[in-house]
Structure 1
């Protein structure tokens, strides 16, 4: 199979996600959040960075009222950041090596290097967002764990 470019992967996967019906978004999001909230790392985490879902991203809004110190992305990833225990990151596509494709602005690629090495970076995705291979560049940052409605993916660098 020919390797797809980031922009091809982004376009295909975004279209699939936008075409998801709301019943599936709700159903899959619940499964994904159940996986997340049952993780010991999530239960122990006190300070979290969450995203506000858009365009059919897995719904994180049920997490907003948890008894935890919840933050959202700031205007600039280089702004001073709290000492996060855990980051829940969105994305458009991921591979099993922990590579991610976001919206192309590099926000999380610039944020991750500024974080404590203890901070766990977890991506939430639908299973169709997991692709065979993402062409990663040197500046691209990996996630530590990917949760979908079907599985938990631990990238090799975390095994």
Structure 2
């Protein structure tokens, strides 16, 4: 399937989830992430701020855990058609952007490149770690600017089923996918379940 076909299908699938399902699946994804990656104090995590209206994986659970355990938190912000990374704390005020995304008021790019984990939003991910997002390419551009050692971790509600047919050279695959039921590794080109 093409990205646009997958985007349409998985947007519909996600919209069909009830609010309770989104909350329950988000908790399971959070638990699977913590069990597999065991983040510790002073590690650096780049994490998106979810848009509840879009039925995205709820990242509040992640943020609360990171703040409580003194893990450094960085969030994306779009500045001049490019994604920058802004460090936040529990006290950082957030404002709602025109896209309906909570963002820090600051436009100060942290310049951080050496993240331990980059939690990545997606609609779908195939068996090779190729993701379909909203089609803007911000994360692919961001991935090309950060350390190759940063683990690119997708969080999503659905297991890989379809292959993505129209990949292009600048598409950057994920290292892992965390779903409500498992953690899949794509390191070394083949998908190995670490269920």
What TM-score results when the alignment is normalised by the length of structure 2? 0.73
Equivalent-residue separation in structure 1 for 2:122 and 2:153 (angstroms) = 11
Q: What's 1:115 paired with? A: 146
Deviates more, 1:75-84 or 1:10-19: 75-84
Q: Say whether residues 1:64 and 2:63 are aligned partners.
A: yes
Instruction: Measure the CA separation in 2 of the matches of 1:117 and 1:108.
Output: 14
Residues 120 and 152 in structure 2, CA contact (< 8 A), matched pair in contact too: yes
Between Structure 1 and Structure 2, the one with more helix by share is 1
Shift of 1:81: 3.2
Once the two structures are superposed, what CA deviation does each residue of 1:31-59 show, in whole Å capped at 9, x if it has no partner? 10001112245347711110111211111
Matches within 5 A, 1:24-35: 24-35=21-32
The answer to which of 93-102 and 36-45 deviates more is 36-45
**Structure 2: 5+ residue runs without aligned partners?**
85-108, 191-195
CA gap of 1:80–1:70, structure 2 versus 1, over 3 A, is: closer
Higher strand share: 2
**Paired residue total:** 155
Rounded to whole Å, the distance in 2 between the matches of 1:63 and 1:125 is 14
Greater Cα radius of gyration, structure 1 or 2? 2
- Residue in 1 that maps onto 2:83: 77
Q: Assess if the C-alpha contact under 8 Å between 1:58 and 1:124 holds in 2.
A: yes
Equivalent residue runs for 1:137-152 within 5 Å? 137-152=168-183
Structure 1 stretches lacking a partner, 5+ long:
none
